Amino acid sequence: MTTDRNSRRVFLGMPGYGKQTAAAGRALWRASAVGNVCIEYAAGSLLSNNFNKLWCTALNMSHRGERVDYFAMLHDDIGAEDFWLDKLIDELEAKQLDALGVVVPIKDHRGLTSISLHEPGDNWEVNCRLTMQDVFKLPETFTADDLGKPLLLNTGCWVCRWDQNWCRQVHFEINDRIVFDVPFNCYRPQVEPEDWFFSRQLNDLGLRIGATRKIAVKHQGELDFMNTHAWGSSEFDNESPKRGRTTSPVPEAAGQHEEPEPLEV
């Protein structure tokens, strides 16, 4: 794929509920400095259906013979630095990845993210989620090679190379079930979120995926939850129903790395 920003053709989709934040709106329309971006907003209460609508738009564009080089997604409650899309694609190409997601913290005090480590053979329980403190022990852009397990991305802010061959083989889906937990003698719900379901498909196809904090973002709720520094009450994720964790999943050899540039939105 070309590294020339001016010649890229990008499809950028924003799924949402019709409650777009001001910072997300700015990030949508100031995603790229070159302007060769097709933008679509999909609103509705069925999350995976919104994602699939956007994915189908890109599939149909390519099916009609229109050129699509990259697909990107930004949620309508995430503000990102100006021209984040140019920078994210640059990083994707520099690291020779097929898909690259931005680290986005979830909206509570713990500093947890939705970026997780897959436990092979189990699509219902992840090994663990990464915390913001974990993330800042890793390289600015990291892959499964840095953690020793397949990586599961979140869908708040990400980009992938567009290849109609593999893109026709994947979709977004939320899976739910109820199980009886024998050790605790109770029933409990389990869910496979659409972002982890999608990531597992990418891993199964042998695609190279990564996550980065090189793009400064804020996840907007009652507060702005930033990805620009290590924070949160949880040093590591110890909430897995099956696997309580007592240490960070990040190898000691990973070391500390520089913080991203300040967010200006």
Question: What's the confidence (pLDDT) of residue 238?
Answer: 66
Question: What's the confidence (pLDDT) of residue 218?
Answer: 85
User: Are the CB atoms for 16 and 46 separated by under 8 Å?
Assistant: no
- The CA radius of gyration of the chain, in Å to the nearest whole number, is 18
Question: What's the confidence (pLDDT) of residue 145?
Answer: 96
Nearby residues of 69 by Cβ (< 8 Å), 6 or more positions away: 1, 2, 8, 9, 10, 161, 162
What digits encode the pLDDT tens for the residues 221-260? 766 777 678 767 777 676 665 555 667 788 875 544 444 4
Residues of the chain whose pLDDT is less than 70? 1-3, 222-223, 227, 231, 236, 238-246, 253-265
Question: What's the confidence (pLDDT) of residue 111?
Answer: 83
Query: In angstroms, rounded to a whole number, what is the distance separating the alpha carbons of residues 41 and 14?
Result: 5
Query: In angstroms, rounded to a whole number, what is the distance separating the alpha carbons of residues 210 and 233?
Result: 25
Sheet containing strand 128-131, strands side by side:
128-131, 112-117, 151-152
User: Are the CB atoms for 50 and 18 separated by under 8 Å?
Assistant: no
Domains annotated for the chain, with CATH where assigned, are 8-254 (3.90.550.40)
Q: Quote the Cα angle for 14-79-264, to 5°.
A: 145
